[in-house]
Chains A and B, each alone.
Chain A
């Protein structure tokens, strides 16, 4: 019984999975999918713009509520875990301390999407937040933490890379991420 501890990590990891796959859905809807507007069957640019923005606004508004909710939950439970260290020693560093940061970024993103501001201005902090994520991933691998160190570190590193890569086009001005909407204008 010595290894009993307050364990909220299981549900955190599953919520993380839900959020990441939802984020992938948001990326698909806003960046990858090319909306085909069907008033007369042709791809009229102005119609696409109008319709594309309308569609993406709805998607982003709905997704923003999800991100805000998850962000508040992750922030609250993460701050609790950061202050109480409920997990065994080093796991508090790589999980408990990282969780509120995930909540902070998710909440920040959700609020920005809800308000409808230009997300390009979040590019820098989100890219910088990828640094601790990648560091924790390497840390897990180096010290062999968890029963699945390879998978756990891959999860962190892939997420960090996604945060880093998604900002590159924004910084270059290739892809404006004004609530993921303006990109659909160009489709």
Chain B
């Protein structure tokens, strides 16, 4: 029983780390892309408050 637990736990921790790292990267890319793309689109409709 015990080795099974430990093996499962270690693999679980490894999977968690991989998932969290890729999740953080997804957030990072998504957030930076949001700012870049919103800037481009805001120039398309300057009459809604875009100054430039």
Contact between B8 and A31, CB atoms less than 8 A apart: yes
* Size of the chain B interface, CB-CB below 8 angstroms: 35
| Nearest residue, chain A, Cβ from B33 | A10
B2-41 CB mask vs A (1 if < 8 Å, else 0) is 0011011101111110111111111111111110110011
Contact between A16 and B26, CB atoms less than 8 A apart: yes
Most B Cβ at <10 Å: residue of A11, A13, A169, A174: A13
Q: Can you report 15 A-B residue pairs in the complex whose CB atoms are below 8 A from each other? A: A10-B31, A12-B30, A13-B27, A14-B34, A23-B19, A24-B20, A32-B12, A32-B16, A146-B29, A148-B29, A158-B22, A158-B25, A159-B19, A162-B15, A168-B11
Q: List B residues at the A interface (Cβ < 8 Å).
A: 1, 4-5, 7-9, 11-16, 18-34, 36-37, 40-41, 43-44
Q: List A residues at the B interface (Cβ < 8 Å).
A: 1, 3-4, 7, 9-14, 16-21, 23-24, 27-28, 30-32, 34, 146-148, 151-152, 154-156, 158-159, 161-162, 165-166, 168-169, 174-175, 183, 186-187
